[in-house]
């Protein structure tokens, strides 16, 4: 049986003489087992176990002896991607400097604090280790403009990620969307890259945009 895309967590062969694959039959030469074209063979059923523990019959086949060992279902990158999207990855907070209030036409600094993420999953009954790493950052500045960078930015005095607001006397809501790339391994095996990404949307951070106050250069009579 092709187990690459099944919902089963494991498979086992059992004689057709039993209705429970976990209980060996007392007689493997029951009438149902003697239906093979070759009288030296016996009929066996392939059973698949669902995630809830229930067993279901998948197919029936004849063998002259014990059936071959059944391989565990293959965990695909798509399986892992779906599981990652279900459990979710960290949504990162946007840090802004100056905090809470900035000036129009001023280089406002944006940054966030990413960390690699280790996730332990059980998929199709198998242990799956996942390492997700931020690959890029989409900065949504709240004024209709966006920017994508490979860097998470840095706090002042660095100006790694900055934005200038054009309109004053408004409050904007900015956030960062993190695009994660990931790799996984099954049962401690070799690492495999997931070709698609997972995107998370961070919580909004409000920022008020103000006009710069004029500075007096001296006294006038």
Q: What is the pTM of this model?
A: 0.72
DSSP class of 34: G
Task: For the chain of 221 residues, list the mean pLDDT of each consecutive stretch of 10.
Answer: 52 92 88 93 91 88 90 85 92 97 96 94 87 98 98 97 95 98 95 97 97 59 45
Dig out the tokens for 156 from the structure: 């002042």
The CATH homologous superfamily to which domain 77-210 belongs is Immunoglobulins (2.60.40.10)
58's CB contacts (< 8 A; 6+ apart) are 1, 8, 11, 45, 46, 47, 48
Contact 155/109 with Cβ under 8 angstroms?
Answer: yes
Q: Where in the chain is the domain with CATH 2.60.40.10?
A: 77-210
Structure confidence at residue 41 (pLDDT):
94
CA 16 to chain centre: 40
**End-to-end Cα, the chain, rounded Å:** 96
Structure confidence at residue 215 (pLDDT):
55
């Amino acid at each position: 049986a092709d187990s690459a895309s099944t919902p089963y967590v494991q498979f086992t062969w059992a004689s057709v003489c039993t209705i429970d694959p976990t209980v060996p039959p007392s007689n493997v030469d029951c009438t149902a087992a003697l239906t093979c074209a070759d009288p030296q063979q016996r009929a066996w059923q392939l059973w698949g176990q669902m995630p809830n523990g229930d067993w279901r019959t998948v197919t029936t086949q004849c063998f002259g002896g014990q059936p071959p060992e059944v391989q565990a279902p293959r965990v695909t990158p798509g399986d892992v991607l779906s599981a990652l999207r279900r459990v979710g990855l960290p949504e990162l907070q946007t840090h802004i400097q100056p905090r809470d209030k900035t000036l129009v036409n001023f280089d406002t600094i944006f940054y966030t604090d990413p960390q690699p993420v280790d996730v332990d999953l059980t998929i199709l009954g198998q242990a799956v280790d996942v390492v997700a790493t931020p690959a890029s950052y989409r900065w949504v500045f709240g004024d209709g403009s966006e920017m994508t960078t490979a860097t998470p930015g840095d706090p002042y005095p660095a100006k790694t990620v900055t934005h200038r607001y054009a309109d004053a006397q408004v409050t904007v809501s900015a956030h960062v969307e993190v695009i994660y790339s990931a790799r996984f391994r099954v049962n401690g095996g070799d690492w495999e890259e997931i070709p698609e990404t997972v995107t998370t949307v961070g919580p909004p951070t409000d920022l008020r945009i103000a006009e710069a106050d004029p500075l007096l250069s001296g006294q006038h009579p």
